[in-house]
Structure 1
Amino acid sequence: MLNTILLLAQTEHDVPAFLIIPFLLLIGLIASGPVLFGHFWEHNYRKIAVTLGLTVLGYYLFALQNHHMPIHTLFEYISFAVLLSSLYIAAGGIYININANATPLMNVGIVILGAVMANIVGTTGASLLLIRPFIRLNIHRIKPYQIIFFIFIVSNAGGLLTPLGDPPLFIGFLKGVPFFWTLQHLFFPWVFAIGLLSLFFYIIDSRNKETGYVPDPAVVAKNNAKTEFYISGKRNLLWLAVIIGAIFLDPNVMEGLPHISYDGNKFSFLREIIQLGAAFFCFRFSSKTALAGNQFSFDPILEVVFLFFGIFFTMMPALQLSAAIASSPEYARYITPNFLYWATGSLSGFLDNAPTYANFLSLGMAKFDMAQNSIIDVRQFATGTGPGGHTTVLLEAISLSSVLFGAFTYIGNGPNFMVKAIAESAGIKMPSFFAYVIRYSIPFLLPALIIIWYLVVHLELF
């Protein structure tokens, strides 16, 4: 079977199977480096990630003479890095302080608030705005599991309701999925996912008893009397709105925008210039009090930018390998909602979930001779009015799994690694890559994913 898979990868896409080794090596180093050789990894992860990424990039350009995928990947990476960096800088200048007692109910309330916010400012924006006040609120009882459930709920599952929520859904919107399709079709799965994960969080957090800390009775009385949110750096909210609004400046959707044309595709640069400009003014005119209160530094975002440079370019062969297997005619009959849910989800947990969504959207549509580069075809596929008939459930499966499974590892979605980096910069010892999966994703996230699959995709109850 393995030989068949490797042969498919080579013959259909002319990509040698050994080219996935740099990706596997990088993932292995991300998982083991901080634990086994932390000092070396801390000082050399940038060189390692960039070297592995450039190695695969060079092979594509010079050995395979393949310029198409590297150029697409480059523009996707630039958009990804610019958006995350801009949001990070803007949110870093907004200081939110919560005067309240760090009870399990309060913590659940904050992550649910973050889940709602994620559909307006994106999972990245909501994560960056709330992670620091969330840590400060729990500073005397902070534990890694609290950060991880924050990642589960705010950084991933929360963004299911609008295309602004999570990058995969925004890609679908740009390709033709109606804006309110997600709210219409994913509302009940969103409620169920947020509710179930919040229940798990509440139960575990209720067992977290503070030790060695005696709170001031006057402070407790004040917090019990009134919960207050204090915000410093409100001017950055305007720049944050500019950064988010610029997301819609896509030349593939809006005619007349300046762009770079390549191979029939339009790549944006105006959007990125606006976002970087807004980020510059954010930092230049940010409240010094807000920056100091957030202990702002560029280290967490630099870690994300460098590591994801390596991930984006080393995962190109992995994406092509998966596409080669799934798009083979002999596997066409397996393109069902159940298959799309688990296949999209499995890859979204270990590859970036945005290109995974795009690949499986293309795969699901190809079964009915529909093309993802046709806005009309995508709209018909989403609404079930095309030649495939009842295809809506296929898109539901792809959308749900790409967003929810993005929380399965640190690298499944951009905000995950950023939240981890911010937590570690605050002195919280986060679990390793494999510890995250074994101790938290499998026992807590996976049951929720199975239940949602059974009710929504398999039984089609919602």
Structure 2
Amino acid sequence: MPKILISAAGIGGATMLIGFPAQAAAIDGAALPLLWGIPFAGILLSIALLPLLAPHFWHHHYGKVAAFWAFAFLVPFAIHDSIGSAAHVVLEVALHEYLPFTILLLSLFTIAGGVRIVGNLHGSPSLNTGLLAAGTILASWMGTTGAAMLLIRPLIRANDNRRHNTHVVIFFIFLVANVGGALTPLGDPPLFLGFLKGVRFFWTMEAMFAPTLVISTILLVMFYLIDRYLYVKEGVTRDPTPDTSVRLEGGINILLLAGVVGAVLLSGSWHPGFSFHVAGIEVLPQNLARDAILLALAGLSLLLTSKHSREANGFNWEPIREVAKLFAGIFVTIVPVIAILRAGTEGALGDIIRLATDESGAPRNEMYFWLTGLLSGFLDNAPTYLVFFNMAGGDAAALMGPMAVTLLAISMGAVYMGALTYIGNAPNFMVKAIAEQSGVRMPSFFGYMAWSVPILLPVFALVTWLWLL
């Protein structure tokens, strides 16, 4: 996210051309009252509550809601400082965070939406467990959204003869839509934001492989036992879906996904040694190259995948449109919150800083895990990750070095605990909607938590004991 000091370094000619001030103001987090965080809290609470309380209004006006909260910060900031400084904040957010974030999600969403599994499977406990395990593995490489959209419909079709199939979708949300995205920056949005902040591409795999393996194994074994019990209880039932051979359509998109991985790796390993500036904001050529390649790959996917296959997959642009609009507001409104957190104990959120640190000032990693996780479950895991990443200092080199356990705690909390509620991670609600459209009786918001809390919290407590204490 934007630096606390809004940099004005750069080429004066570009600054004059764009019309921004030669010197942008510094945001002193220690001097900011907590009132500056109201727009950020407002947009996150809107995301959490309005789809439940006013779904019709939200569906038609979520972009306006995001814009309202963005201007709720920018207008007072422009009055307090200057219009030029407010414009500088917007441009810096766009160039450094928002556009790379949105372009990655767009490319993964587009390419994954071109892969379609055709045919009928029979939902035995072993097959269901195998599909969940495969989706868990795929999620780190094609994103939780991509893996969820690829597998949820075949999984539902495989179990359309089952009286008890709600638990299948719930565990799918746990594993494929959340836990499985923990191993690469491609898997889950918070990890990609960490990558943009300087975390190495393979650091997440090195640090999170063991806890992800433990959690996934426990949940898969638990699922198999529950599914086996219900399967035997139901007895043999006829599958109403006609038997057809299973095959893959749009296989070219698998190669394009490999190109996405290569493009992200390129931006982390290629350092040409020069950069240029737009209105005093540094732009790195490796990042521009990555984003251009990702857009080209998405375009190729659209050209090379049949329209019929995408339509049969239920592909449409609304999910990515919603993400683009909402995160534009989130990235802007989080600026003062990060400034306050960077001020440490001198800032308005000093009590939270003290809660996550011991008397010597060292981080309490178990608190970082639970604070990041619980907020991720009820708000949104990507901005929550950023908040605690910056609370821990925001220096990727230090967080991968002497503070590696702290970064592990933040990363695990943001990814794993997005499974606690329907709103913790973007694919959760998408999976719920698809399941309900297909006739699966999904629980309410709190009904879902009646599953997630007793199943997941003991597993997270075990993770805390094994890796953070």
1:295 is aligned, of 304, 314, 319, to 314
Give 2:367's aligned amino acid: F
Correspondence 1:220-299 to 2 at 5 A: 229-250=246-267, 254-255=271-272, 265-266=282-283, 268-299=287-318
- 1:423 to 1:308, Cα distance in 2 relative to 1, 3 A: farther
Q: Give the match for residue 18 of structure 2.
A: none
- 1:357 to 1:44, Cα distance in 2 relative to 1, 3 A: closer
Give 2:452's aligned amino acid: S
Q: Give the match for residue 114 of structure 1.
A: 135
Cα offset, 1:195, TM superposition: 1.4
Distance 1:346 1:259 in 2: 40
2:58 is aligned, of 27, 30, 41, to 41
- 1:270 to 1:382, Cα distance in 2 relative to 1, 3 A: closer
Cα offset, 1:116, TM superposition: 1.4
Cα offset, 1:293, TM superposition: 2.0
1:185 corresponds to 2:207: yes
Q: Give the match for residue 194 of structure 1.
A: 216
Distance 1:14 1:274 in 2: 42
Distance 1:135 1:216 in 2: 12
Give 1:295's aligned amino acid: G
1:444 corresponds to 2:455: yes
Q: Give the match for residue 455 of structure 1.
A: 466
SS in 2 for 1:231: strand
2:395 is aligned, of 372, 376, 381, to 372
Cα offset, 1:194, TM superposition: 0.4
Q: Give the match for residue 342 of structure 1.
A: 370
CA contact under 8 A between 1:32 and 1:432: conserved in structure 2? no
Q: Give the match for residue 412 of structure 2.
A: 400
CA contact under 8 A between 1:258 and 1:270: conserved in structure 2? no
Give 1:407's aligned amino acid: A
- Alpha-carbon displacement from aligned partner over 1:79-137 (angstroms, at most 9, x marks no partner): 22222222222222211135421123322211111111223333333233223322333
Q: Give the match for residue 388 of structure 1.
A: none
- Mean Cα deviation higher: 150-159 or 31-40: 31-40
- Alpha-carbon displacement from aligned partner over 1:146-202 (angstroms, at most 9, x marks no partner): 333222211221133344433444455565555544444333211111012223433
- 1:139 to 1:28, Cα distance in 2 relative to 1, 3 A: farther
CA contact under 8 A between 1:300 and 1:421: conserved in structure 2? no
- 1:456 to 1:262, Cα distance in 2 relative to 1, 3 A: farther
Q: Give the match for residue 238 of structure 2.
A: 215
Cα offset, 1:449, TM superposition: 1.1
Cα offset, 1:294, TM superposition: 0.8
- 1:303 to 1:167, Cα distance in 2 relative to 1, 3 A: closer
Distance 1:59 1:338 in 2: 37
- 1:415 to 1:258, Cα distance in 2 relative to 1, 3 A: farther
SS in 2 for 1:192: helix
Distance 1:407 1:123 in 2: 11
- Alpha-carbon displacement from aligned partner over 1:354-408 (angstroms, at most 9, x marks no partner): 45445544544x5xxxx716xxx44xx5354xxxxxx443333233223212333
CA contact under 8 A between 1:260 and 1:269: conserved in structure 2? no
1:382 corresponds to 2:415: no
Cα offset, 1:249, TM superposition: 4.3
- 1:361 to 1:288, Cα distance in 2 relative to 1, 3 A: closer
- 1:167 to 1:314, Cα distance in 2 relative to 1, 3 A: same
Distance 1:304 1:428 in 2: 25
Distance 1:319 1:433 in 2: 30
CA contact under 8 A between 2:120 and 2:241: conserved in structure 1? no
Give 1:238's aligned amino acid: L
CA contact under 8 A between 1:20 and 1:315: conserved in structure 2? yes
- 1:244 to 1:161, Cα distance in 2 relative to 1, 3 A: closer
Distance 2:326 2:439 in 1: 21
Distance 2:293 2:130 in 1: 34
SS in 2 for 1:455: helix
Cα offset, 1:453, TM superposition: 0.6
> Unaligned regions of 5+ residues in structure 1, if any?
1-9, 385-390
CA contact under 8 A between 1:31 and 1:432: conserved in structure 2? no
Q: Give the match for residue 4 of structure 1.
A: none
- Mean Cα deviation higher: 125-134 or 102-111: 125-134
Q: Give the match for residue 103 of structure 1.
A: 124
- 1:194 to 1:250, Cα distance in 2 relative to 1, 3 A: same
User: What is the root-mean-square deviation in Å for CA atoms of aligned residues?
Assistant: 3.9
- 1:218 to 1:406, Cα distance in 2 relative to 1, 3 A: closer
Q: Give the match for residue 136 of structure 1.
A: 157
Question: Percent same amino acid at aligned positions?
Answer: 39
- Mean Cα deviation higher: 301-310 or 188-197: 301-310
- Mean Cα deviation higher: 259-268 or 77-86: 259-268
TM-score normalised to structure 2 length:
0.75
